Chain A
Amino acid sequence: DAKTTQPTSMDCAEGRAANLPCNHSTISGNEYVYWYRQIHSQGPQYIIHGLKNNETNEMASLIITEDRKSSTLILPHATLRDTAVYYCIVRVANTGFQKLVFGTGTRLLVSP
């Protein structure tokens, strides 16, 4: 799986958009970008994933650059409950089981 680089921490005011960047310059053509988060003391939570098109679901939007070397996770209206560590993972989406490996992630703090 390609290596990813994320900022260690970010702050965001409640109600504002949180934009979390991820660099994955060695990504291969068949690798997807996945985002998970882990709120303190809870199990990891899947957020969104994409290959090359921008994706949106009820939780977030994922913007992938045209060269696919970086992406941004957008939480459009951050709430205090979005305070968590966010992990960007690049991996091939195939039919076999793959263990989940988190890097260090970005610790997002949403403040009132």
Chain B
Amino acid sequence: NAGVTQTPKFQVLKTGQSMTLQCAQDMNHEYMSWYRQDPGMGLRLIHYSVGAGITDQGEVPNGYNVSRSTTEDFPLRLLSAAPSQTSVYFCASSTPPDTQYFGPGTRLTVL
């Protein structure tokens, strides 16, 4: 099992550019989620999904879109990157009763 994988590991964008952060899991977990973590801060939930075709907003969804067409994949799209979106992004997957497994993270810098 590879667990939760994320690509890319690092990304630098210019303000206004768009991009997709990829996340995949091979554990057949129902739940997947995206968090961001700013330096010295805790995790903040962006979006989550409780199954293929079902997504919902977390606490900081603005500027991000998600879709879940398969159980395995949960990409996060930045529509128009802003410096405030500079952060480390973690994808997680879980299955009830909700022990979450995290990917290694994508470090995003928006100039």
B58 within 8 A of A: yes
Q: Report how many residues on chain B are interfacial, defined by Cβ distance under 8 Å.
A: 24
Q: Which residues 82-111 in B have Cβ within 8 Å of A in the complex? A: 90, 92, 94, 96-105
Which among A32, A34, A43, A49 has the highest number of chain B CB atoms within 10 Å? A43
B59, A99: Cβ atoms under 8 Å? yes
- Could you tell me if A99 and B48 are in contact, using CB atoms closer than 8 angstroms? yes
A3-59 residues with Cβ-Cβ distance < 8 A to B are 32, 34, 41-46, 49
Say yes or no: is A2 at the interface (Cβ < 8 Å to chain B): no
The A interface is mostly helix, strand or loop, or mixed, namely loop
At the interface, yes or no: B35 with Cβ under 8 Å from chain A?
A: yes
Q: Tell whether, in the assembled complex, residue A102 and residue B99 are in contact, meaning their CB atoms are under 8 Å apart.
A: no
A101-B42 in contact (CB<8A): yes
Contact-size category for A:
20 to 34
Residues in B with CB closer than 8 Å to A97 are: 31, 33, 48, 50, 94, 98
Does A80 make an interface contact (CB < 8 A)?
A: no
Binding site for B on A (CB under 8 A): 32, 34, 41-46, 49, 93-103
**Shortest 4 CB-CB contacts between residues of A and residues of B:** A43-B102, A93-B97, A99-B45, A95-B96
Q: Name 16 interchain pairs, CB-CB below 8 A, sorted by A.
A: A43-B4, A43-B92, A43-B102, A43-B104, A43-B105, A44-B90, A44-B102, A93-B98, A96-B96, A97-B31, A97-B94, A97-B98, A99-B33, A99-B43, A99-B48, A102-B42
